[in-house]
Chains A and B, each alone.
Chain A
Amino acid sequence: MNKMIRFLPLVLVIALGVVLYRGLSLNPQDMPSALVGKVMPEFSLTTLNNANKLVSKTDLAGDIILLNVWATWCPTCKYEHPYLLDISKNAQLSPYVKLYGLNYKDDRLAAKQWLTTYEDPYQFSIFDEEGTLGLDLGVFGAPETFVIDHHGIIRKRFAGAIDTRVWRKEFEPLIKQLISEKQQGK
């Protein structure tokens, strides 16, 4: 018994080391969104391309909605852009998944220019100059991407850029699950 106790500090230190080592590989920015599992908040904002056209939640149509928060002031959004184009052109996804933009705290002209220059992957972009919808969605930066299911429930929030690796790891399994949920009539 006494001999066992002698090893207790060693065991404790090793356990502590394991915990701290694990902490090194955790991303502190990676926070669960408070909105996962909740209904997409209501909004009434203009679209980016038409300052006179108001859109609301009901205008976001599609079995699975991807809502991508972007802005021209955000360098990572530029990195992400080609991958968003890929998603919007993906023939396997397009019957189910619709990509919408949320242009967050941006300049309308600059944002329009951006979409002409780099091509527009979105069905349309909501123009959120004041960041009101962003606030209701708990957005704290760009880019961020929300996955909304066919019941209008937010199923995922991802902060950071989407690329092939992130898409495979973070989005593809959920998209598949949502498609099968829809087909089963859940």
Chain B
Amino acid sequence: MLNKIIVIMLMSIIAIFTSDIANASPVDTFEFKDEVTKVRFQALSKELRCPKCQNQNLADSNSPIAADLRRELYELLQQGKADSEVVDFMVNRYGEFVLYRPRVSNVTYILWFGPALLILIGVIVVIVIIRKKPVSEENLALSAEQQEKLKQLLSERVDDSSPSTSVSAKADKE
């Protein structure tokens, strides 16, 4: 039993590693001036969206435009541009679309605050439902008038005919 578990675990570990290898991301051969630039490059190419592809970042995409933009990004970073300058550069050319984390503006308010608003509405609805008073006993009870009518109806049925006695008896019990 223990052996089996170990075998399964080993196999899944191998699967994880090989799937990583099979996942063919494009390979560029950039030489960075220092380690920090490299890290910044990696971070930015994950943060920036490939304009041609609908849902891939620059790091992931094999499309020619993504390769061009990676090269541009590399050159901007090598020139010592700040992250915000790089992002501005891209947005000026390709629009807000290239940002995976869009800036807060009146177009993106709904993106940024929509989810929180929905949660808030949900919480309010739940609170309202919980705090709603249960229906009181008095309201459930029949009024004298209704009681009278009920009795009248029941007695009518009993008088009516014999086959329905069992039903009226049942109703009586209720």
Interface residue ranges, A against B (CB under 8 Å): 28-29, 31-35, 105, 131, 135-138, 140-141
Interface residue ranges, B against A (CB under 8 Å): 51-52, 54, 64-65, 68-69, 72, 91-97
Which residue of A28, A34, A131 contacts B94 across the interface (Cβ within 8 Å)? A34
Q: Do A34 and B68 contact each other (CB < 8 Å), given the known contacts A28-B54, A138-B51, A140-B51? A: no
A169 vs chain B, min Cβ distance (A): 22
Which residue of A29, A32, A105, A137 contacts B93 across the interface (Cβ within 8 Å)? A137
Which residue of B65, B72, B91, B92 contacts A140 across the interface (Cβ within 8 Å)? B65
Which residue of B54, B64, B72, B94 contacts A138 across the interface (Cβ within 8 Å)? B94
- List the A side residues contacting B65 at CB < 8 Å: 140-141
Mostly, the B contact residues are helix
- List the A side residues contacting B92 at CB < 8 Å: 34-35
- List the B side residues contacting A140 at CB < 8 Å: 51-52, 65, 94
B10 vs chain A, min Cβ distance (A): 43
Q: State A35–B92 Cα separation when bound (angstroms).
A: 7
A135/B93 in contact, CB under 8 A: yes
- List the B side residues contacting A31 at CB < 8 Å: 51, 95, 97
- List the B side residues contacting A34 at CB < 8 Å: 91-96
Q: Do A105 and B94 contact each other (CB < 8 Å), given the known contacts A28-B54, A138-B51? A: no
- List the B side residues contacting A32 at CB < 8 Å: 95
- List the B side residues contacting A28 at CB < 8 Å: 54
- List the A side residues contacting B69 at CB < 8 Å: 135
- List the A side residues contacting B95 at CB < 8 Å: 31-34, 138
Q: State A28–B53 Cα separation when bound (angstroms).
A: 10
9 additional A-B pairs beyond A28-B54, A35-B93, A105-B64, beta carbons within 8 Å, are A29-B54, A31-B97, A34-B92, A135-B69, A138-B51, A138-B93, A138-B95, A140-B52, A141-B52
A136/B54 in contact, CB under 8 A: no
Please name the residue on chain A nearest to B95 by beta carbon: A34
Q: State A35–B97 Cα separation when bound (angstroms).
A: 13
Please name the residue on chain A nearest to B65 by beta carbon: A140
Q: State A176–B135 Cα separation when bound (angstroms).
A: 69
Q: State A105–B96 Cα separation when bound (angstroms).
A: 25
- List the A side residues contacting B91 at CB < 8 Å: 34
B51/A135 in contact, CB under 8 A: no
Q: State A58–B109 Cα separation when bound (angstroms).
A: 41
A-B CB contact pairs (8 Å), 13 listed: A31-B51, A32-B95, A34-B94, A34-B95, A34-B96, A105-B64, A131-B68, A135-B68, A135-B72, A135-B93, A138-B95, A140-B51, A141-B52
